[in-house]
Copies of this chain bind each other. A is one copy, B any other.
Amino acid sequence: MREAQVVSEQELSLLAGLASTRSIRRYTEDPIPDDDLNTILFSATRAPTGSNRQDFRFLVLRDGAVAAEAKALLGKAFREGWGQKRAGDGYDKGTGAADDSPKARTARAMQQFVDNFELTPVVVLPCVQVRHGGIQDGASIYPAVQNMLLAARALGYGGVLTGWHRLVEDELRQLTGIPEEFAIAGVVPLGRPQGNHGPVRRRPMAELVFDDTWEGQAPWANDPPGTRFAGRAPNKIN
């Protein structure tokens, strides 16, 4: 396990890591060595949970017998989920009809992601004990998922939090033994990124951060120079 205490110039700083971690859906077939996987899961377990109850559990699927079956089941679900989304959200219509449009590029990347799901080196199922059945249960698992993705980034891996397991949740529970009292909060594939990947894109902070009241302007909240945007650009805000 890598020493988290060591700070070297080679290592990514915390702030730089937060600013540059993005969803990665294309992986090489390189496995993730035990030591690195340990660091990733250790980092996950450092996240906070309600009253520090640590009601979170992480089921790691690698190359065991059950893992292969579970990955196949999830692959099927992901292809079905993406197929529904591709049609429902009109990915092949409008600008999506042009091969070089952002929409078409996204659709190609997503298709490749789901088509190759079974080859993902590591798939983690983050689970959490059901307490309220509402959004607040997520407060005890999604911070850990984010830590996991950030630690992966620190070690040169990437991943993404997805939710298409819900299409096969019963079979997945039966196969892996996840009990009913634990919610499966998502599916996190992890691997070495294939090829280059673009910048993190978000809406301008002015649309997301408010001061004092809802939609109250926060003059101190400004995207740093060079920020790439998704959705409306800052100069298009009225």
Residues in A lying within 8 Å of B, measured CB to CB: 1-9, 11-23, 34-35, 37-39, 41-43, 45-48, 50, 52, 54, 56-62, 64-67, 128, 130, 133-139, 141-143, 145-147, 149-151, 153-155, 160-161, 163, 176-179, 183, 185-186, 200-203, 205, 208-216, 218, 220-224, 230-231
Contact = CB atoms under 8 A, between A and B. Distances in A.
A146 B107 CA distance: 29
22 contacts: A1-B224, A4-B15, A4-B18, A6-B13, A6-B16, A8-B9, A11-B15, A37-B220, A38-B222, A54-B202, A54-B231, A60-B210, A62-B212, A64-B213, A66-B213, A67-B212, A135-B138, A138-B139, A138-B141, A141-B142, A142-B142, A177-B215
Contacts of A7: 9, 11-13, 16
A203 B54 CA distance: 7
Contacts of A202: 45-46, 52, 54
The 10 closest A-B pairs by CB, nearest first: A138-B138, A142-B142, A14-B17, A64-B212, A177-B214, A34-B220, A143-B146, A4-B19, A11-B13, A14-B154
A60 B221 CA distance: 10
